[in-house]
A = this chain, B = another copy of it.
Amino acid sequence: MYDFLNDYNQTVHPNLLKEFVDINNKKLSGYGLDECCDDAINSIKKLLKSPNADIHFMAGGTITNLTTISHILKPYQAVIAAETGHINVHETGAIEATGHKVVTVKTEDGKLTPELIKPVLDYHCDEHMVQPKLVYISNTTELGTLYTKQELKKLYQFCQKHHLYLYLDGARLAMALAAKDNDITFPDLAKYTDAFYIGGTKVGAFAGEALIFNNLSINHDFRFNMKQKGAILAKSWIIAVQFKALMENNLYISLGKHSNDMAEKLKNLFENEGLTFAAKPQSNQLFVNFPNQLAKKIISLYALDNLGQTDPSHICLRFCTSWATQEVEIENFAKQLKALLRK
C-alpha cells in the first residue's frame, strides 16, 4: 500500500544498520565533537575534494534548511526560491518563523535560472522591500527534475556577480547525481554552491543530512545557531556513522541509481500505456496524469500523493520509488494497472 508513497517509508539500509550496531559499545563525547563525526566529515571532504569544507550533521531537511538559511541572512534579507520550493510549500513557514521572507519565482520545471532571478533583483530596489540575498534551489527539484552542470555553473556565476549566495537542498541529491541526464559531480557542488546538504533520510538513513559550507565567510559560529534551533543531537555520531557508510564504495550514488531505475520501469510502463507526465521524468519521482476514473481506482489501492486535477479530466498522482523499492513491487503494480485499464 505504501509502495510508491515516498522514499522514506523504510528505516535503514543494511550497511548503515551495521554501523549503527557496531558503534553501540563505544563511549563518545557529545554534540558532534566525537571521532565518528570527524571520520565521516573526512570521508565527505575527500569525496568533495574540498579539504576546507565545514560540515555539520542534522536530523532532517526542514531543520537543516531553517538553521542554515537563518544563519546566512540578516534580519531584513530574503531567500529567493521557486514557487514549488520545499521551503516555500512544505515546511509550514519554517523560514518565515526565523524572520525571513521567501520571495518566490514561478517556474515551469521547478528550476531557477539567472533569467528568472534577474527581475526579482530589479524589483527589490530599496529599503521598503526585503533584500534578496540567498538563492535556494533543490536538486533533484520537488518536481523530480535535474540541474545540468552548465545550469548550476551559470546560476552560481550569476549569484557571485550579484552578491547573492547559492544554497542547494540535496534531500534527493543521490537521485540527482545518479540520474541518466546528470553531469554534476560532488566536487562540482563544492565549487558551484556556497552551501548545500547531502540528504540521508531519503537515501537509506534512518535520519540525517550532512550540511556543507563551501563559502567560509558565511558559516562563522554556526554551531551556536545549530544549538539554538535544537539542531545538534547529543549523540550526533549516530548520523555520522551512517554517512560514513553512505560515502563508502559509492553506496550513496548506488542507492540513488536504484531509486531512479525503479522509477524508470514505472515511467516506461506509463508511457507504453499512453499516459503523460506533469513534469519531465528524470529521477525517482514521477508526476503522472491519469484519467479521473483510473486515478480514483489507483488511490483506492495505493497510498499515493494526490496533486489534484491537472485538467478537468485528469488527476496527477506522484509515484515515488526508493533505495528499498523491489522489482516485484513494480511488476505487481504493472499487472494491476493493466487489469484496471483492460476493464
Q: Is A3's CB under 8 angstroms from B24's CB?
A: no
Is the C-beta of A29 less than 8 angstroms from some C-beta in chain B?
yes
* Size bin of chain A's contact surface: 35 or more
Q: Is A230's CB under 8 angstroms from B229's CB?
A: yes
Give the distance to chain B from A35, nearest Cβ to Cβ, in Å: 11
Residue-by-residue, is A265-286 near B (CB-CB < 8 Å gives 1, otherwise 0)?
0000000000000000000000
User: CA–CA, A69 to B20, complex, Å?
Assistant: 33
Q: Is B101's CB under 8 angstroms from A96's CB?
A: yes
Q: Which residues of B contact A29 (CB under 8 A)?
A: 2, 5, 9, 303
Chain B residue at minimal CB-CB distance from A34: B9
User: CA–CA, A106 to B289, complex, Å?
Assistant: 26
Q: Is B96's CB under 8 angstroms from A230's CB?
A: no
Is the C-beta of A157 less than 8 angstroms from some C-beta in chain B?
no
User: CA–CA, A186 to B104, complex, Å?
Assistant: 37
Which stretch, A47-55, A231-239, A244-252, touches the partner chain B? A231-239
Given known A-B contacts A70-B75, A76-B221, A62 and B230 have beta carbons under 8 A apart: yes
Is the C-beta of A130 less than 8 angstroms from some C-beta in chain B?
yes
Give how many copies assemble into the complex: 4
Residue-by-residue, is A200-225 near B (CB-CB < 8 Å gives 1, otherwise 0)?
01100011000000000000010111
User: CA–CA, A286 to B5, complex, Å?
Assistant: 50
Is the C-beta of A114 less than 8 angstroms from some C-beta in chain B?
no
Give the distance to chain B from A116, nearest Cβ to Cβ, in Å: 16
Q: Is A11's CB under 8 angstroms from B30's CB?
A: no
Q: A10-B24, A90-B128, A128-B227 known; 15 other A-B pairs, CB under 8 Å?
A: A2-B28, A5-B29, A9-B27, A10-B27, A21-B21, A29-B303, A60-B230, A70-B75, A71-B75, A75-B225, A91-B128, A94-B230, A96-B99, A127-B223, A207-B234
**Partner-B contacts on A (CB < 8 A):** 1-3, 5-6, 8-12, 17, 20-21, 23-31, 59-60, 62-67, 70-71, 74-76, 78, 89-94, 96-102, 127-131, 201-202, 206-207, 221, 223-235, 237-238, 303
19 contacts across the A-B interface (CB closer than 8 A)? A2-B28, A2-B29, A10-B25, A17-B24, A20-B206, A60-B232, A65-B230, A66-B230, A76-B224, A91-B230, A92-B129, A92-B225, A96-B96, A99-B99, A127-B224, A127-B226, A131-B224, A202-B234, A207-B238
